Amino acid sequence: MKLWDKGIDIDKKIEAFTVGNDREIDLHIAQYDILASIAHAKMLEKINIITAEELQQLCEGLETLLQQVHNRTFAIETQFEDVHSKIEFELIQKYGNVGKKIHTARSRNDQVLVALQLFYKNNLNIIIAQTQTLFDTLLQLADTHKEALLPGYTHLQVAMPSSFGLWFSAYAELLVDDVYVLQAALKTVDQNPLGSAAGYGSSFPIDRAFTTKELGFNTLKYNVVAAQMSRGKSERTVSMALGSLSNTLARFAMDICLYMSQNFNFIAFPDTLTTGSSIMPHKKNPDVFELIRGKCNKVQALYTEMLLITNNLPSGYHRDFQLLKEHMITAFEDLKNVLEIFNHSIQQIQIKEIDFSDEKYKYLSTVDSINNLVMEGVSFREAYQKIGKQVEDGTYAVETSKRHTHIGSIHNLHLDKIKEKMLSTEIN
């Protein structure tokens, strides 16, 4: 069954090519298409297109299908082109002509649009909540390990003293920025496109404000052409937001892989979280964080894909848009999984005590030495040159009592202020 079927046979190769794997992908948006259909049916009854009895039948049938989705017994068989044709077929099978009325005043175009907008809304909220959970974990780790020193690096060269508290809380504060971007994307998709039909509206006296409220959208997309043109724009916006979060997680995962290596040896994880080698029995590999890094880099590539598929398309619907669904849905599923695994794993991190007497940390306190001289009245430039000369001629040494004099500022993590930032992002 096809919603556009006019009784004309179509070439089977063409049909297979145009349908692609939509049946499998559409299972992810089935519940949202059903919810939108319920709201649409209620609106049709409100404007006297269908009767109260017909509405009751349609809602009963749609609720049954929704339960099948939740029970994972809902399927889209090969005779159906997509989820929309499957749902309409089931309603017609059960209620005859009443089922045929559900498509009144809408197009498959706005059906797809509203189902995807609802999918994006729900899953963005899930990811924001998961990000906030990881944020809380990192702040707790920062507080627990705020006095554990960690060598800071620039250009992968030993630079200045830092702390594990600073490291954990740094990534926590970056997550706040990611939530800002995710919420901007959420606001973009929180606009109801239902009622735009094929992009040029409907001559029926539909009530779009009613379906907007019924579906829980903040507002509607007033201009019906703009609603149609949001297909692609929404995906670019959402993929950029997912990419921002993925960038933070990928960098964090890279730090973890680096710090776990024997050359750094700053951290470890329980053996149950690492994997081994098929020929080297000593190996304890950070595969979890390598996969997190790889998956997050895939998500970051999504924006470019969305851009190239939709760039410079004229207004109106184009079948190119069908290609957006699969990787957008996959990105959400991957990122939700990554956030869950990251939060689970990072809670089990083991912080090692670092031997700062090691030769490679000999110059870790040069900035402290310069600052100590400045506090004694020497100009910064003279102090810098003096310590620099000592480094060059091999005479540099620092008294233990004067080492890491800025430790107090390292321990001042501003955790309360960072927490306030995240609290300010919560949507009432």
- pLDDT tens-digit profile of 228-263? 999 999 999 999 999 999 999 999 999 999 999 999
pLDDT tens digits for range 314-365: 998 898 898 999 999 999 999 999 999 999 999 999 999 999 989 999 999 9
Domain range list for the chain: 12-103, 108-351, 360-425
Q: In CATH, which superfamily holds the domain spanning 108-351?
A: Fumarase/aspartase (Central domain) (1.20.200.10)
Whole-Å CA distances, 402 to 158, 209, 238: 19, 69, 50
- Active-site position among 261, 277, 315, 379: 277
What is the C-alpha radius of gyration for the chain, rounded to an integer number of angstroms? 29
Mean pLDDT, the chain, rounded, equals 91
What are the residues facing 350 on neighbouring strands? 268
Q: State pLDDT tens for residues 184-210.
A: 999 999 999 999 999 999 999 999 999
Active site residue 155: yes
Token digits of residue 253: 């995962």
Instruction: Determine which one of 155, 203, 282, 409 is catalytic.
Output: 155
Q: Which residue, among 242, 234, 119, 225, has the nearest Cα to 187 in the 3D structure?
A: 234
Question: In sequence order, which residues have a C-beta less than 8 Å from that of residue 182 and are 6 or more positions away?
Answer: 124, 127, 128, 131, 241, 242, 244, 245
Per CATH, domain 12-103 is 1.10.287.70: no
Among candidate residues 377, 368, 370, 374, the one with its CA nearest the CA of residue 401: 368
7 has pLDDT over 70: no
What contacts 170, CB < 8 A, 6 or more positions away?
none
Beta bridge partners of 162: 150
| DSSP 8-state assignment for residue 275 | B
CA separation (Å) from 321 to 302, 326, 327, 390?
Answer: 14, 11, 12, 64
Residue 234: active-site member: no
pTM for this predicted structure: 0.92
